[in-house]
Amino acid sequence: MNDGDLSVSYDVLVIGAGSGGLSTATSAANYGAKVAIVESNYLGGTCVNRGCIPKKLMIQAADFVEQQTVARSFCWSNVEGSFDWAAFKSTMHQHLDDLRQSQQESLQDAGVDIVRGTAQFIDGYQVQVGDQILDAEHTVIAVGGSPTVPDIPGSEFALTSKDMFHLPQLPQHIGIVGGGYIGIEFSHIFARLGVKVTLIDTSQQVLSGFDDSLRTIAHAGLERLGVTFIPQKTCSEIVADGSQRVMTLSSKDEDDEAQTVSTDMVLMAVGRSPNLEALNLEKAGVDLKDGNIAVDDYGQTSQPSIYAVGDCIGRLPLTPAAIAEGEAVAKTICCKQPTATDYRWIPSAVFGVPPLATVGWSEAEAKQQLGDDLETYEQRFVPLHHSLMQNAQNALIKWLACQSTGQIVGVHAAGNEAPDMIQGLIPALQKGLTLAELKLVSGIHPTSGEELFVVPKE
């Protein structure tokens, strides 16, 4: 820990110890730089503390409900159980404590100084943290973002994703505003755990921006869970009525009558905003664009000594993207080798019912890029794990390829193993994998993964 000297100089100073900041700091230290990282809260940022990790643990806990159904289909009896939210919450937070301790030890082993407090720029080369002034040849901003709450009457009665991990008890009925991946995943969690869920989105179908095949499957998954989906509406007001939260839902069409929905909890899942308020960016000469820190292809801001990575730059709000950006910026700074982040093959997953995974272009994007030179293939199958269940949900693998070259430009999958299946293809996709090459691969039988190599005929 560095909490003694009033003024310390560093080669690289990182502000924010989330995924992007940790990646930058450890990479720069491994290149031999003198590095410090500033954090006012827990190490690990959103992903470890208020996002990916605790949410995935909640999903895994909720999915034991499905495993009871699967077990019965395989002729097990007396498999019912009950869920203890309070005990799970305690176990989950102990695991997060262990992760934070591990990250602290990794930073210390790498020789990175950890500075606790809120960072404020004095100028392009100096940052103040409490009584300390930190001089840095290069500073990297990695402050992440926070959930956005719309400025509507009664917004103070809404919760955000960060509150979901500390609920004293599960609600009976939750209204979720926003049909992106956060809204889908929390709909999955609460519905599995027996909570009535009403999901509201401004689009006709959930997961705007994803491939339409995956959107359709996600929508069907919500129906299987019993989620009530209200499309093309947004929450324009929340009124507290005793323990109830009454949402007024309106649409862009002025002829549509507003409707009300009464729940005992409202979750706003409508996006995130960068955490820039405390930084004094104007003193550092750092420009913004559309509310995010403006950077070039190499993560450099309008102030040459300052770079930025992660959610605060508004590029691709995913943990793998922030990690890749941090590694690229560290190489740019420390090795004097300008390195851009390649977003083309960064995958993403949505842990709905079933889980969805995607990498490369969606079909709409591929049509825009390739026109009539696009060919698509879909393979639907029932995984062996679900084969004895009645009304088992089909899994999906979808390939998009350039017809003239055979190069695969996008892969989309739905099914319990989809995220792990997809990421195993990425090195080959980066090298220009073609459909013809894919067909030459023999998969392990019987697995869901072998379906990746069974490219159907047109």
Catalytic residue ranges: 445
- Dist. CA 253–CA 455, nearest whole Å: 44
In angstroms, the Cα distances linking 385 to 221, 393, 415, 422 are 17, 11, 11, 18
Say if CB 293 and CB 286 are below 8 A apart.
yes
Selection from 141, 139, 138, 122 nearest residue 313 by Cα: 141
In angstroms, the Cα distances linking 310 to 106, 314, 343 are 20, 8, 12
Following DSSP, what letter does each residue of 17-43 receive, concatenated?
-SHHHHHHHHHHHHTT--EEEEESS-T
Q: Any residues with CB less than 8 A from the CB of 15 and at least 6 apart, and which?
A: 21, 37, 38, 119, 127, 139, 140, 141, 142, 143, 279
Q: How many CB atoms lie within 10 A of CB 264?
A: 15
Selection from 189, 168, 156, 111 nearest residue 355 by Cα: 189
Say if CB 132 and CB 51 are below 8 A apart.
no
Q: How many CB atoms lie within 10 A of CB 443?
A: 14
CA angle 420, 425, 429 (to 5 degrees): 145
Say if CB 268 and CB 147 are below 8 A apart.
yes
Tokens of 176: 């979720």
Selection from 392, 372, 390 nearest residue 382 by Cα: 392
- Dist. CA 453–CA 434, nearest whole Å: 11
